[in-house]
Amino acid sequence: MDTTAPPYPNANAAEADGSRAPQAPDLRTRRAGRRRQMLAMVAGCYVIDAVILFIYAQAGTVPSTIAPSYAAIGVLTVALWTVLSESGFNDRFLDHYLVVPQSIVSMMMTVAFCYIAPEVSIVFLCTLYLVVAFGSLRATPRQSAICWTFLALGLAGLFLLTDKPLGMPTGSGLERLATLLVFLLTIAGCMFLGIFSSGLRETLYQRGQKLQEAYRRIEELAELDELTGALNRRSIMHVLDKEMARCRQAGKPCSIVLLDLDWFKRINDTHGHPTGDEVLRTFAITMFANIRSSDHFGRYGGEEFLLVLPGAPAEPAARLAERLRQIVADLDWSAFSAGLQVTFSAGVATLRGDETADSLLARADHALYGSKANGRNRVTGT
């Protein structure tokens, strides 16, 4: 049966209000290809309906001119829409399928043939159902209301202002065959509509899943330092504030360790920046492999890192920092560059009362300064 609504609906389509939206050439090409497929389908539906009307004509139900007239008008209408589509006219509108004008033209044409050939009005009434059903997949609520209004006016005129005997021919075997085909094709159209809707929902679901994964990845990248994979400064500071509040509320200690790679500028100058990047990455991996899952590690800036240890008192925090210092110092860094050695200095501070994050960091920085002043490659607590 005739279906002038597009077979590629978009549930979020905007109304065709004449607005012009910028489009990439490849997007316009894809849309034009979809419109070609849709219009080819519509033309095929007109031809199928014409074949059924031809069967009715052979049974003597309608004049022989009805089938070719219907097919000719339908195909010419499709040709008009095709010319507009290929000229780029459709791309001027947000609704590039032109749902409302196509649906209205199809509905008015179908109602007109109900009037011209009322003996086989079942063909055109079933066609109307499919036109509306397919159009609703693409139309917005406002577009649906417009189409329904035009259809209601057309049918009201047909049913109330005329006395045409709208019929469903079943008198002869040939008529019964044609009527059977009408119902079978209508049911097939309904089944296609259901299958297509199901496929559309699945496609939208999969796209939603991909979007969620993309958003998750974007959020993850926004929180992490690109080079080391550690939390960036903004994120580690947010974590510090959150853990301080949580530990304070639970009455638990919270310690931090401020770490700085020793002579890192010298490493870059002597061994090159690519080697320096590898040092930072390996250092971060080493940290992640040797801290608790509840601990948080972030890049505070440059070669300076911050370790947040919720629930850790001062002495265990200092012991952990010392163990990490020893692990890093014992690594075979010469694998990256001959003669390369990497160590770090650290300052440890434990939260006091209602101390602010800035105060806590200031004490850790002061302790770190003490480690550097005393020869580096050491841990100092406050």
Model confidence over 286-339: pLDDT tens digits? 999 999 999 999 999 999 999 999 999 999 999 999 999 999 999 999 999 999
**Domain match, 200 and 312 both:** no
7 within domain boundaries: no
**pLDDT over threshold 70, residue 5:** no
Same domain, residue pair 52 and 198: yes
Is 173 exposed, middle or buried (CB count within 10 Å of its CB: 0-12, 13-18, 19+)?
A: exposed
Residue 185 lies in a domain: yes
Shared-domain flag, residues 204 and 318: no
Please determine, for residue 7, whether its predicted confidence score (pLDDT) is greater than 60.
no
**Beta bridge mates, 301:** 304
8 within domain boundaries:
no
Count of H helices and E strands in the chain? 11, 5
Backbone angles phi, psi at 344, to 5 degrees: -140, 155
**Together in a domain, 272 and 148:** no
- Give the pLDDT band of residue 96 (cuts 50, 70, 90): confident
pTM: predicted TM-score of the whole model, two decimal places: 0.54
Give the total number of structural domains in the chain.
2
Instruction: Determine the pLDDT at residue 53.
Output: 95
Residue 205 CA from chain centroid, whole number = 9
* Same domain for 71 and 110: yes
What's the rounded Cα separation, in Å, for the pair 103 and 115?
19
pLDDT of residue 362: 96
Q: How many residues does the chain have?
A: 382
Last residue of a domain, one of 220, 247, 280: 220
What tokens were used for 291?
A: 């801290």
- Domain that residue 166 falls in: 25-220
- 104 and 78 assigned to the same domain: yes
> Which pair of tokens denotes residue 313?
């008192």
Q: Minimum mean pLDDT among 153-167, 195-209, 256-270, 304-318: which range?
A: 195-209
CATH number, domain with residue 296: 3.30.70.270
Residues 248 and 197 occupy one common structural domain: no
Look at residue 69 in the predicted model and tell me its pLDDT. 95
Q: At 180, which amino acid appears? A: L
Radius of gyration of the chain (CA): 37
Statement to judge: residues 168 and 72 lie in one domain: yes
Q: Is residue 5 a part of any domain in this protein?
A: no
For residues 335 and 367, the answer to whether their CB atoms sit within 8 Å is no
Strand locations in the chain, DSSP E? 254-261, 296-301, 304-310, 344-350, 379-381
Which of residues 195, 220, 245 is at a domain's end? 220
- Which residue has better confidence, 28 or 265? 265
What helix, strand, coil percent values describe the chain, rounded to 5?
65, 10, 25
